[in-house]
């Protein structure tokens, strides 16, 4: 009996924790948007730290919500793994960083696509929107890499190229945070 009371309290707080996770990830997007002001050598460590924290927060939120828990947490784990690659192996060059982020976005979009298939209602819509946004951002990075390669080869990673990359990372975080806020709202409605 006591176990069910504790479980019931955890369930009634899950929407608040998921909302807090969404808010944290949106705040992390501000850090990603400020990436152009970070020294070039330190930018890989900053990107890695942002991805690591965002992934851990998203994995926690994924374990808390009711629909597609395993897949939702997996999206966060993949994000954390990408962050760990940056933290433990700081690349410091634009192309390997952008390539790793492009790969992360593609893998994450596939995971979110499957997560959306096992979700329902507005959770499905927001999860599929997040998957589409990450895929779209990966395509932008892929297209931008070919254009940027000439610019970076001739001039080094210019402020405009780094700023574009930073905005792509920030947009992914904003959409993920918004998705978690919607999931929290759905969880709250289901608990009422």
pLDDT tens across 91-134, in order? 555 556 677 788 889 999 999 999 999 888 888 898 999 999 99
Q: Which two tokens stand for residue 55?
A: 């992934």
**Spatial CB neighbours of 141, under 8 Å, sequence gap ≥ 6:** 98, 101, 102, 105, 165, 168
Structural domains counted in the chain:
1
Ramachandran quadrant class, 157 (left: phi over 0; alpha: psi -120 to 50; beta: rest): beta
Contact between 27 and 55 (Cβ < 8 Å): no
Q: Which domain holds residue 180?
A: 8-191
CA distance 192 to 183: 14
Q: Does residue 41 fall inside a structural domain?
A: yes
Residue of 33, 75, 85 lying closest to 54 (CA atoms): 75
Helices (H), 89-158: 94-117, 121-155
Q: Does residue 163 fall inside a structural domain?
A: yes
Entry field: residues in the chain: 192
The 10 Å Cβ neighbour count of residue 190 is 11
| Residue range 69-96: mean pLDDT, rounded | 80
Confidence at 12, pLDDT banded by 50, 70, 90:
low
Confidence at 168, pLDDT banded by 50, 70, 90:
confident
Q: What is the pLDDT of residue 3?
A: 44
Q: Does residue 136 fall inside a structural domain?
A: yes
Q: Does residue 157 fall inside a structural domain?
A: yes
CA distance 50 to 86: 10
Q: Does residue 2 fall inside a structural domain?
A: no
């Amino acid at each position: 009996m006591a176990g069910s009371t504790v479980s019931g309290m955890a369930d009634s707080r899950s929407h608040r924790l998921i909302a807090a996770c969404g808010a944290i990830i949106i705040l992390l997007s501000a850090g990603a948007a400020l990436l152009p002001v970070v020294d070039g050598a330190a930018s890989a460590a900053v990107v890695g730290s942002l991805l690591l924290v965002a992934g851990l927060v998203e994995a926690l939120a994924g374990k808390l919500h009711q629909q597609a828990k395993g897949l939702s947490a997996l999206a966060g784990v993949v994000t954390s793994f990408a962050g760990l690659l940056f933290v433990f192996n700081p690349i410091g060059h634009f192309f390997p960083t952008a390539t790793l982020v492009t790969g992360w976005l593609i893998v994450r979009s596939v995971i979110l696509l499957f997560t959306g298939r096992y979700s329902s209602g507005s959770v499905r819509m927001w999860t599929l929107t997040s998957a589409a946004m990450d895929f779209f951002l990966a395509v932008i990075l892929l297209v931008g890499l070919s254009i940027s390669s000439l610019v970076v080869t001739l001039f080094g990673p210019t402020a405009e190229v780094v700023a574009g990359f930073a905005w792509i990372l920030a947009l992914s975080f904003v959409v993920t945070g918004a998705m978690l806020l919607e999931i929290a709202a759905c969880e709250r409605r289901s608990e009422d």
